[in-house]
Chain A
Amino acid sequence: MSKQYKQIHCVINGKEREAMVDVRASLTDLLRNDFRLTSVKKGCEVGECGACNVLINGECFNSCIYLAVWADGKEILTLEGLEGPNGEISDIQQAFIDEAAVQCGFCTPGAIMSAVEILNEGRELSDEEIRIRMSGHLCRCTGYENIFRAVKKTMRKRLGLDG
């Protein structure tokens, strides 16, 4: 049978975008192939590792198990969207660098996007809550320790809790 396409309109990293989407495509496919947003990684393709995590209307989703056509009318944020107009990086990205929370770097984009969702809430989370909220990411390099530190430090800094 002939391939089925749908015209979608969405906002990706702050920019209005139009795309003709193969209905079979996942959002990972759309972001990586059509927009070359390669921070969106494929680690399992079934929603178990979190490497493809992006924000859709402010909430985290594994884009591998999200149909691209569903992005119609949505606001999507990937790691690339955190960069400022002059290449400035955000506080959470800097914290990942400072806390040595990056090793192979493959889970990093997805993990940072979950951190962004948490930090956007603008409230103080307990250690346990931070761990729960980050638990959709598998990482084999860091033991999660320094990722946890980076998220917690950034949260405290944003809330002015460190004096």
Chain B
Amino acid sequence: MYTGQSIKRVDALDKVTGRTKYTDDLCDRKAYIARVLHSTIANGKVLSFDLSEAEKVPGVVKILTCFDVKEKHYFPTAGHPWSTDPGHQDVADRLVLTDRVLFYGDDIAAVVAEDEVAAAQALRLIRVEYEEYPFVLDVQKAMEDGAPLLHENYPNNILKHTTIRNGDYEKAIQEPGLIKVEGWYETPVVQHCHIENFICFAEKEGERITVVSSTQIPHIVRRIVGQALGTGWGNIRVIKPYIGGGFGNKQDILYEPLCAWLSLQVGGHLVKLDVPREETFVCNRTRHSIRNHIISWVRPDGTYAARKLEAFSDQGAYASHGHSICAKGAGAFPQLYPCPNVEVDAYTVFTNKPVAGAMRGYGIPQSMWAVESHTEDVCAAIGADPIEFRRRNLMPVGYTDGFSKNENYFDSFNQCLDKAMKAIDYERKYKEYQNQTGDIRRGIGVAVFWYNTAVWPISLESTSCRMVLNQDGSFQLQLGETEIGQGADTAFAQMAADVVGVPVEKVHVVSCQDTDVTPFGTSAYASRQTYVAGFSIRQTGLQLKEKILDYAHLLTRMPAFNLDIREGNIVRIPDGRVLMNLEELATEALYSLDNSRHITAESTYQVKSNAYSFGCTIAEVEVDIPMCRAKLLNIVNCHDAGKLINPALAEAQVHGGMSMGIGFGLSEKLMFDEKTGRPLNNNLLDYKLSTFLDHPTLKAEFVENAEPTSAFGTKGLGEPPACSPAPAIRNAIYHATGVGVKNAPANPHNLFKAFSEAGLI
């Protein structure tokens, strides 16, 4: 068995030697360089351009503006599976270039030049005349009557408003003796900060257009480039090489349509669009800032009588992933701590800010910041122990979601809490840090999370796999599911080796997706790669195995049902004798003069299930009150992601998610100038992504309850680690100081305000 083993990554050797090719490494040097001109107002209309000086720059090939976009093919950008039901399709509100500016940084023109210096010079020389409109940056102000309207079809800028109504909230709160706990909890705009910026290049091949892109979702890119160009989707070929991180930003169509369109404007010449870091921050996607208002009515015995959530999600200027993110976050509210009387109102609202899209956790990190901060506030209000209160109220074993039919099969929450508490010595520290005085204080805090793997039954869950047997008994494994750094290819190889019965070295994962060649799949999102691909790998592997054994029957005359493939050998099951090896069989199969077969298997599996992934974080901090800063001393995440396919890579995934969660909790925030809407800190110096020195040792623990719906007992782990660190850190600061920060991050600016208000400084 290879699943369950910490084998080395299949792509590690190339990555440590620099052989791995990323998009820019593949681009021919003859490429023209494209740069985008972004608006310098937050709301308005482009009236005209003066290109006269820019066009004089030597090396400028062509300057295209929004007024050159004659055919208005509006397209959506969310990396969602397409829906053939128009009612379920993503909002198509983008053009490759627009004259109607909706945020500071909108795409209004592009320069195509022979080199980057000429492109940059020309960009600086373009003069733009605008008609400026008032703009709005605050999510709730955008909902007010009379606020600047971004999209005509969305009154009060509300992209969508959904509700959940369970029981009778109004009646339930009449119960005598209830304690009301109310709070507003807000998360900031943050960005993915993958180290490879988004980059793509495009050129014509025959009458078709090829786009090579740093994307998580090649098949979806093909569809949307087709939509944006108004051409048959088959006219588009998308190639996805290795990518330098994505984290959801690259689960969106970014500049592939523009790049393809630009190539067509210069006769199909190769055009490269390499997005500078500053533009990656604001002209790609961000994480939705969500303002949550929670009211809980709690009985003195520590049970919930009624609860209410209002969530206001800041979409920014265009719909992108839209309401799905806020809806997912808000949907977790009644599930995490079930209560018979619940009201939820979730709003996704346009503002004149950069476009928010998918980012690791997809609404759950924002939701957990609010819910788990609030849980701590509830504990404080009723004098309950934070761990005991959670144990009592968390989603119980056997809980089943009415919509997805997902079930909580195991006592995962308690198991995760137990393991994390032990790993960090929680009980002792919790007692020791009670009622401290002095300038420097320590605290320890907990937060849990719930995350739903994959997207069934909201969207299509289709996964296809192809296996092609080689003469030496090895085989290629091809999937639409993508390696984006998380280690998916390695997990796929392990699963395929187990199903077919070959040494893992005999599985050659074709990492690069090419939509002309790669089986269809909607790719990397929703922490679904291992879960979803597992089904098609198992199904296809069994088909390949059947074909191999059928041929083995021809060669050995033994009944196929008495044969198996073990470690690359054809084995007779009753006596375990090795009859031949796969190399002999495969070579014979290909070159046989009387019965030649090329043994391949390909199948599609439609997944009609998904799985709850659970876990918690416990964080220990030291707070320097006069200096207004919290230092993270220790942190542990414990996850139940089902059976781990590769424990070492799972641990590494958890580290990365924790790191992102730490930044979310302590330091990261993208800021905008109130007067102009201009981004203020869109670079890696001013945006405080945590460094090597901002982390303590990151500890990852696991509980491995085999997920019964899964092909390999596994479920989502990509996003879950980022969901609970921030509120755990916040709650640790609360434990240390008695001050509960409402708005993330708990950086010195916010701590200064909070400590001042609390009279600590």
Contact = CB atoms under 8 A, between A and B. Distances in A.
A42 B684 contact: no
B193 A45 contact: no
Given A135-B692, A145-B697, A102 B243 contact: no
B13 interface: yes
Contacts of A42: 24, 197, 274
B432 to A, nearest CB: 24
B689 interface: yes
Interface string A55-85: 0000000000000000000000011101100
Contact of A104 (B25, B194, B695): B194
Given A44-B684, A145-B697, A104 B196 contact: yes
Contacts of B13: 89, 97
A21 interface: no
Contacts of B487: 103
Chain A interface mostly helix, strand, loop or mixed?
loop
B276 A142 contact: no
Given A44-B277, A97-B9, A140-B247, A134 B692 contact: yes
A140 B698 contact: no
A49 interface: yes
B197 A43 contact: yes
Contacts of B193: 138, 140
Contacts, number: 167
Please indicate which of the listed interface residues B244, B276, B693 has the most CB atoms of chain A within 10 Å of its own CB.
B244
A78 to B, nearest CB: 7
Contacts of A154: none
B577 interface: no
B324 interface: no
Please indicate which of the listed interface residues A38, A79, A94, A132 has the most CB atoms of chain B within 10 Å of its own CB.
A38
Given A103-B485, A141-B485, A83 B17 contact: yes
Contact of B22 (A106, A140, A143): A106
Nearest to B6: A100
Contacts of B711: none
Interface string A30-54: 0001000111011111101101000
Given A93-B16, A97-B16, A24 B195 contact: no
Interface string B5-47: 0101101111111101110110001000000000000000000
B541 to A, nearest CB: 25
Interface in B107-142: 117
Contacts of B244: 41, 43, 104-107
A145 B21 contact: no
B692 A137 contact: yes
Contacts of A38: 18, 21-22, 24-25
Contacts of B20: 105
B242 interface: yes
Contacts of B14: 105
Q: Chain B interface residue count: which class? A: 35 or more
B649 to A, nearest CB: 6
Contact of B242 (A37, A46, A105, A107): A105
Contacts of A18: none
A100 B652 contact: yes
Nearest to A38: B25
Given A41-B244, A102-B16, A143 B659 contact: yes
A102 B698 contact: no
B458 interface: no
Contacts of B656: 103, 140-143
Contacts of B276: 45
Interface string B684-714: 1100010111010110000000000000000
Contact of B652 (A49, A112, A142): A142
Contacts of A141: 245, 485, 652, 656
Please indicate which of the listed interface residues A43, A44, A46, A141 has the most CB atoms of chain B within 10 Å of its own CB.
A141
Contacts of A94: 16
A83 to B, nearest CB: 6
B655 A89 contact: no
Interface string A104-118: 111111001000000
B374 interface: no
A145 B653 CA distance: 11
A26 B16 CA distance: 24
B660 interface: yes
A144 B655 CA distance: 8
Interface string A137-160: 111111111111000000000000
A80 B243 CA distance: 19
B646 to A, nearest CB: 9
A143 B689 CA distance: 11
Given A41-B244, A104-B484, A135 B194 contact: no
B8 to A, nearest CB: 5
B486 interface: yes
24 contacts: A38-B21, A38-B22, A38-B24, A41-B196, A44-B277, A46-B683, A48-B683, A51-B195, A79-B17, A80-B18, A100-B9, A102-B16, A104-B243, A105-B244, A105-B485, A106-B22, A106-B485, A107-B244, A132-B693, A138-B689, A140-B195, A144-B692, A145-B655, A148-B692
Given A43-B244, A80-B17, A104-B242, 19 more contacts: A38-B21, A38-B24, A38-B25, A39-B17, A39-B18, A41-B196, A42-B24, A44-B684, A80-B18, A96-B16, A104-B244, A106-B194, A106-B244, A106-B245, A138-B689, A141-B485, A142-B655, A143-B656, A144-B659
Leading 4 A-B pairs by shortest Cβ distance: A39-B18, A104-B485, A106-B244, A143-B659
Interface of A: 24, 33, 37-39, 41-46, 48-49, 51, 78-80, 82-83, 89, 93-94, 96-98, 100-109, 112, 131-132, 134-135, 137-148
